[in-house]
């Protein structure tokens, strides 16, 4: 493709907040990062909501816009830091009036509406544990997560309650209160969110909060077993603040847009907490993905920092460069990606079409914050996850037969990506599953389950999940590498790769491809794509077969579900499909 590296100066529109990556790593300490936060008055501890709204609201930034909400019907609502602080104080008092206290779990089942942002901040002020659910979940994943999390309060809408929750109430005996957002008279067993909020006092003092007090609960699905509830604490705000500055180059003068739904960890950590902690203005779009609307938001809101997902980027790429050229995107100075590895051609497309390359980032629900990134202060290597944030030690590990691990020092070797345990946003456990939690660690390292390699410049490259790797004729093949090569063909919109059992080679590589509009699946195109892959990857790595599909199965957060492709190919049980796009 010809783009092995994009110079840090190639698209810079101003000096980054971290001018030197090497100096930042040398000088950084978590103690100083903690000291940079405000802390509760009179040394009463550390509370995420205080850092996100109250410390701004009580100073000169109180009148600054914290939230710009864009309704799907054209409604626009802006909340200042002072207003958001007042509303979240009311919700904290509302919870207190309902008898909900420290450690009690408050769930939300909402779209991107202002009530969600008020609820999460108010719950954190009350020292309750907040857990957002994706509004497109069906009843089964809602019930399982609320049961595991011992939900005491649910904030939702009348429509979602009637469709997805009402029939579950008998199976959720710990659910004491349901607050309905919008609507007229709430149905039996529920109360009006707006009415209770209106009569609640706006005078709330955050109680002493230990940095290790539980704050956020996020669920992550495994390949087998029930969902895992990853628990995070208030000290996570230290990483939210540092990573917003280092990885997203975000500051108080910025207008920022994270397109992730708050039902997922990105939509909470970087769609609510991180931008508010640094004092930025957060754009929130209620509507679903629509290309022209997205470009108009970037233009009209003068978005300076944009954090989105590879799936959305690929969908924009499919439509070509003509649409974005109709809009003035000159305010945009940093575009970043999260959710799954970003193909190199998408990074370059950003530079050519938007004037900004996409900076890929890597982290997980369990890490609580961005761990690896392509920084504004460094060159980008398209296809790479980037390098560790200051304060984060990452390595490639080899597993020993005795159950221990050792660091692979040699560049280019493949192994499991791991992080030295102890950063502030590291999850503190899987709810009620201590043994499952302990399996995530070995010899002081957090084991990510992702296979990767590190190059001689210290950049990390994703190869695949441990259970996605393909072993063919003695070669260990990462599906992402193959998918990236397939994506270079102009007809390919999306690609997913699996290992297909083979009596000689153990496995051969099979690809599933969705085409861009205007291309017709036929044998000639199949041969052409296979030829490109063989040219790019060599015959030992390239796929032997390609099937054309209208769409590839994806989670609602946009990750291609390779295990479903494999199960369908081999006639196996599909397992848990609660996070599949079309399953609700």
pLDDT in tens, 483-512: 988 999 999 999 999 999 887 677 899 999
The average pLDDT across 388-407 equals 95
How confident is the prediction for the chain on average, in pLDDT? Answer: 92
Strand partners, 217: 231
Strand partners, 461: 453
In tens, the pLDDT along 246-280 reads 999 999 999 999 999 988 899 999 999 999 999 99
The average pLDDT across 335-343 equals 89
Per-residue pLDDT, 504: 65
Distance CA 277, CA 237 (A): 8
DSSP string, 87-109: HHHHHHHHHHHTT--TT-EEEEE
Per-residue pLDDT, 264: 87
The average pLDDT across 529-548 equals 89
Strand partners, 180: 156, 192
381: Cβ–Cβ under 8 A, 6 or more apart, which residues? 4, 5, 6, 374, 455, 457, 459
* Listed range (138-147, 354-363, 426-435) with the worst mean pLDDT: 138-147
Residue 56 has pLDDT above 90, yes or no: yes
188: Cβ–Cβ under 8 A, 6 or more apart, which residues? none
In a 10 Å sphere around its CB, with 0-12 CB exposed, 13-18 middle and 19+ buried, how is residue 412 labelled? exposed
Given the candidates 2.102.10.10, 3.40.50.300, 3.40.50.12780, 3.40.50.170, the CATH classification of the domain at 21-454 is 3.40.50.12780
Share of the chain above pLDDT 90, in %: 77
Confidence bin at 223 (pLDDT 50/70/90): very low
Sequence spans of domains, the chain: 21-454, 471-570
* Pairwise pLDDT comparison (12 vs 8), residue with the higher score: 8
275: Cβ–Cβ under 8 A, 6 or more apart, which residues? 244, 250, 254, 256, 258, 281, 282
Per-residue pLDDT, 539: 79
Per-residue pLDDT, 470: 83
The average pLDDT across 60-65 equals 96
Per-residue pLDDT, 224: 44
Coil, strand or helix at 54:
helix
* Listed range (66-80, 234-248, 439-453, 475-489) with the worst mean pLDDT: 475-489
The class (CATH top level) of 471-570 is alpha beta
Crossing angle (nearest 10°) for helices 479-487 and 523-537: 120
The average pLDDT across 207-223 equals 88
């Amino acid at each position: 493709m010809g783009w092995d590296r994009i110079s840090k100066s190639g698209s810079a529109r101003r000096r980054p907040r971290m001018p030197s990556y090497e100096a930042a790593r040398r000088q950084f300490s978590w103690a100083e990062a903690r000291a940079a936060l405000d802390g509760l008055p009179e040394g009463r501890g550390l509370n995420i909501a205080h850092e996100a709204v109250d410390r701004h609201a009580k100073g000169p930034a109180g009148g600054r816009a914290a939230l710009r909400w864009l309704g799907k019907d054209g409604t626009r609502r802006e909340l200042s830091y002072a207003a958001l602080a007042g509303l979240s104080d009311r919700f904290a008092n509302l919870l207190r009036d309902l008898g909900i206290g420290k450690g009690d779990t408050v769930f939300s089942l909402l779209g991107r509406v202002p009530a969600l942002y008020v609820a999460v901040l108010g719950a954190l002020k009350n020292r309750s544990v907040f857990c957002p659910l994706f509004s497109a979940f069906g009843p089964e994943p809602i019930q399982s997560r609320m049961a595991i999390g011992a939900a005491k309060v649910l904030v939702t809408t009348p429509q979602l309650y009637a469709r997805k929750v009402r029939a579950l109430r008998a199976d959720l005996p710990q659910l004491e209160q349901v607050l309905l957002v919008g609507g007229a008279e709430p149905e039996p067993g529920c109360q009006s969110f707006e009415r209770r909020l209106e009569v609640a006092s706006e005078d709330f003092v955050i109680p002493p909060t230990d940095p290790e007090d539980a704050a956020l609960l996020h669920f992550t699905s495994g390949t087998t077993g029930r969902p895992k509830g990853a628990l995070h604490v208030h000290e996570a705000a230290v990483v939210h603040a540092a990573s917003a500055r280092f990885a997203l180059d975000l500051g108080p003068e910025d207008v920022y847009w994270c397109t992730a739904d708050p039902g997922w960890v990105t939509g909470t950590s970087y769609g609510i907490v991180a931008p508010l902690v640094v004092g930025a203005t957060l754009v929130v779009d209620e509507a679903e993905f629509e290309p022209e609307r997205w470009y108009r938001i970037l233009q009209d809101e003068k978005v300076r920092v944009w954090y989105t997902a590879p799936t959305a980027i690929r969908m924009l790429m499919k439509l070509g460069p003509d649409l974005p050229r109709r809009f003035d995107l000159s305010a945009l100075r940093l575009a970043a990606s999260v959710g799954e590895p970003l193909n190199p051609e998408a990074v370059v497309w950003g530079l050519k079409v938007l004037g900004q390359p996409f900076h890929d980032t890597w982290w997980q629900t369990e890490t609580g914050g961005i761990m690896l990134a392509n920084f504004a202060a460094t060159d980008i290597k398209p296809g790479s996850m980037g390098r560790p944030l200051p304060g984060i030690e990452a390595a490639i590990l080899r597993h020993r037969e005795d159950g221990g691990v050792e660091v692979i020092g040699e560049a280019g070797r493949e192994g499991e990506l791991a992080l030295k345990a102890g950063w502030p946003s590291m999850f503190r456990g899987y709810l009620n599953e201590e043994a499952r939690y302990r399996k995530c660690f070995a010899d002081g390292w957090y084991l990510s389950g992702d296979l990767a390699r590190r190059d001689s410049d210290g950049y990390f490259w994703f190869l695949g999940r441990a259970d996605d790797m393909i072993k063919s004729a003695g070669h260990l093949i990462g599906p992402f590498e193959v998918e990236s090569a397939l994506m270079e063909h102009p007809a390919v919109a999306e690609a997913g790769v699996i290992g297909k059992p083979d009596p000689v080679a153990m496995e051969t590589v099979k690809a599933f491809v969705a085409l861009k509009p205007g291309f017709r699946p036929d044998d000639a195109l199949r041969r052409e794509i296979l030829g490109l892959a063989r040219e790019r990857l060599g015959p030992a790595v390239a796929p032997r077969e390609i099937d054309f599909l209208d769409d590839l199965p994806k989670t609602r957060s946009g990750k291609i579900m390779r295990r479903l492709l494999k199960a369908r190919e081999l006639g196996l049980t599909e397992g848990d499909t609660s996070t599949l796009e079309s399953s609700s």
